[in-house]
């Protein structure tokens, strides 16, 4: 039910041109019960404190009417997110997420070289008492399970598929950090706020020009979501292709490897 879209407007890789206003979201699918979006990075899923009118939910409701929040993805994560269009669909979807039934697949670029082809990270997570905006591993935390699978290996980095089996806040980010493979860009849990070509290319020559980052947001994309459709009860999958910035990063990693 998902469609392919042209993501050239999401990220302009030719800065000398006048940039168009980047779309905040794409509608992947909609019917009377649900609407599924491909959210751009930098857009909050729901309203953040003191920021009115700029979240995906608020913007979409201006066109579509009332929407019910089912789940969230981080502001600087791109990709698939679903909202309900009525209270009954909201309850049915909420019940699925409470039971950890939806299949969620994320694409992630990690710092470090993952040795195993697949690993299961089973580490309980809790709110960090020193910083309520962070999560941390804790024996007294809630059960949290993430499966990581290698898609490609590079020098110093790994392109991985992450499948969170539970839905804790920042789960993928904290789990990857806990096993020594933080997201390549993650201001809260990783080692970088931006990733530059000079960190990838051994003989990088900038010729005294100011270097612009390849990625300046989380190297994480909510690629695929499978739910039981609240109208039919049938498994339904929605897919958001990688946005341009992640594709550009992977291209440079492949060139450096080659």
CA distances for 188 relative to 131, 191, 227, angstroms: 11, 8, 30
What whole-number distance in Å separates Cα of residue 32 and Cα of residue 30? 7
Angle at 116 between CA 214 and CA 162, to 5 degrees: 55
Residue 38 has a CB neighbour count (10 Å cut-off) of: 27
Element (H, E) at 19: none
Q: Count how many Cα atoms sit within 13 Å of the Cα of residue 188 in the half-sphere of its side chain.
A: 21
221-249 burial code (b ≥16 CB/10 A, e <16): bbbbbebbbbeeeeebebbbbbbbbbebb
What whole-number distance in Å separates Cα of residue 123 and Cα of residue 6? 38
Residues 38, 74, 76, 245: which is the catalytic one? 74
CA distances for 105 relative to 9, 129, 149, angstroms: 24, 29, 10
Q: Is 74 a catalytic residue?
A: yes
What whole-number distance in Å separates Cα of residue 131 and Cα of residue 231? 41
Catalytic residues: 74
């Amino acid at each position: 039910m998902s469609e392919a879209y042209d993501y050239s407007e999401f990220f302009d890789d030719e800065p000398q041109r006048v940039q168009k206003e980047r779309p905040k979201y794409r509608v992947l699918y909609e019917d009377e019960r649900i609407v599924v979006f491909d959210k751009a990075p930098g857009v909050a899923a729901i309203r953040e404190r003191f920021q009115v009118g700029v979240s995906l939910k608020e913007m979409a409701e201006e066109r579509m009417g009332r929407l019910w929040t089912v789940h969230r993805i981080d502001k600087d994560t791109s990709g698939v997110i679903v909202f309900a269009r009525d209270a009954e669909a909201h309850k049915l979807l909420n019940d699925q997420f409470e039971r950890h039934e939806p299949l969620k697949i994320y694409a992630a670029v990690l710092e470090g070289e993952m040795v195993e082809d697949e690993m299961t990270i089973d580490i309980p997570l809790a709110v960090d008492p020193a910083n309520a905006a962070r999560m941390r591993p804790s024996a007294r935390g809630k059960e949290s399970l993430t499966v990581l699978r290698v898609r490609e290996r590079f020098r110093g980095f790994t392109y991985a598929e992450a499948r969170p089996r539970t839905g804790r806040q920042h789960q993928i980010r904290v789990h990857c950090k806990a096993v020594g493979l933080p997201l390549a860009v993650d201001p809260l849990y990783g080692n970088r706020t931006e990733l530059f070509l000079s960190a990838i290319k051994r003989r990088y020559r900038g010729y005294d020009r100011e270097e612009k980052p390849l990625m300046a947001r989380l190297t994480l994309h909510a690629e695929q979501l499978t739910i039981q459709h609240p109208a039919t009860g049938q498994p339904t999958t929605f897919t958001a292709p990688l946005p341009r910035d992640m594709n550009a990063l992977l291209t440079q990693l492949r060139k450096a490897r080659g």
